[in-house]
Amino acid sequence: MTTTATEQTFLLPDLGEGLTEASVVQWLVAAGDVVTVDQPVVEVETAKSVVEVPSPYAGRVEVLHAAEGELVEVGRPLITIAVAVAAVAAAVPGGMDGAETADGVAAETYREEERAGSGNVLIGYGTSAHPGSGRRRRPRAGRSTTPDLTAAPGAAATSGGGPVKVISPIVRRLAREAGLDLRAIAPSGAGGVVTRSDVWTAIEQARQGPVSAPAVAGVANSVKAPAHASAAVGPRASSAVLSSTPASGEQRIPLSGFQKTAAKVLSRSRAEIPEATVWVDVDATALWSLREAARTPDDPGPGLLAYVARFVVAGLKEYPVLNSRLDVERDEIVLPGVINLGVAVQGQHGLVVPAVLDAGSMTTTELDVALRDLVARARIGKATTEELTAGTFTLNNYGGFRVDGSAAIINHPQVAMLGLGRIIDRPWVVDGEIVARKITQMSFVFDHRVCDGGTAAGFMRSVADAIENPAAAIVRL
């Protein structure tokens, strides 16, 4: 058996199911490195998140087609890999041993899987340039065949006599890491293509147990656009300056993928939603004291945000219409049946609002752990796409920016957002005397189409009363 090499160029696939471009954040390999199938080779920033892109080929890296910081359009070359190809003599029966035969069959299955999607969907994964019969011809005796030895060990098998169609390499990897069989996932993409939303739906079904498919699909489809925070402190500066005129000093800085998406979502929110805002000053002294009393030398205990998140979740259970979305085409308010609590985070790639999934089922301690983990990952761009798109309600702690209030913009397609300002010492009247208390301002913006001011005020007071008397509130939860 002899081995040769052939160059395979991997084109940037549609990582976001409709995104048209991505920016190279960091290459994880260099020219000359040897990579394996499904090994992450580059981090790219899309309009939704920063994701690692795995390689569909095994071999030696020849060319990196984009520099770090460069914008790459979907379907353009990303990386070229020299793939090892083995020419196996099959002159007589038994010319290959079992291992070689298995490798060849697996490789062919892998190639068929990647060719299964349409050229418009599975860009960069070797879709056929021209239609064929799909039949395989058995090589005649005395001829050699050249099986591709880049097969993924866990490549999806065929379903119903045909290969599983996937929209991008991320889909296969997500399903494998979740322990799901692609063949068992109902596809929603054109031509029977399995999308990431399909995998998320299957994961949610597995997490919640037996649930009707239409109900779960409704939740997944209700949050397509990423939820971005209501008021960015400042746009992230781009390293690329399009033009600069020395005389006038004018510069042009291109919007990042995050900023483009935020602009679309926030503009749509402001154009479509008749929003109203209410606010109240809250005495958080008792909550502050409770947090301090819960601290020990070995355990800092839950943070203030975890307590507030718990009170918000309780308020949403009391007023579920605020944890919903509005289906304008059918004139229906859609209640998702789960509380995915979004939290505004200023990350290195921009201001995003990842969500604590199923926050309604968590204790204060569990919320604290989940929030700390989510915020830490979001700050370095490691929040998952599901976390960035699944939010059903947003808690915006703009007090972290040392401001007291905000006229927020609702994160479409959500219908409400609660904001919390900084907690500072202020003069407050208690039992007829002016004393120093820990005061914060809470603001609440809501979609006036789904509820009136009475509902909004009721929710606000529910959260405010819990903050002012946390011990009694926790007992009731």
Enumerate the active-site residues: 448
Q: How far is residue 376's CA from residue 397's CA, in Å, rounded to a whole number?
A: 15
Residues 290-294: contacts with CB under 8 Å, at least 24 apart: 290/470, 290/471
CB 136 within 8 A of CB 17: no
- Rounded to whole angstroms, the Cα distance separating 421 from 444 reads 11
318/315 Cα distance (integer angstroms) = 5
Asked if 397 contacts 408 with a C-beta cutoff of 8 angstroms, the reply is no
Reported as half-sphere exposure (CB side, CA atoms, 13 A), residue 228 has a value of: 25
Q: Distance (Å, rounded) from C-alpha 381 to C-alpha 398?
A: 20
**Tokens in use for 96?**
């290959």
DSSP strand pairing (332-334 vs 325-327): antiparallel
Q: How far apart are the first and last CA of the chain?
A: 70
Single out the residue of 236, 473, 200, 443 nearest to residue 352, CA to CA.
236
The answer to whether 177 and 40 have CB atoms below 8 angstroms apart is: no
Tokens 């204060």 -> residue: 364
Q: What is the DSSP string of 114-156?
A: HHHS-TTTSTTS---SS------PPPPTT-EE--B----TT--
DSSP-assigned states of every residue in 18-74 = S--EEEEEEES--TT-EE-TT-EEEEEE-SS-EEEEEPS--EEEEEE-S-TT-EEET
Among 272, 267, 374, 388, which residue's Cα sits nearest to residue 325? Answer: 272
CB 10 within 8 A of CB 80: yes
- Which residue, 183, 61, 170, is CA-closest to 125? 170
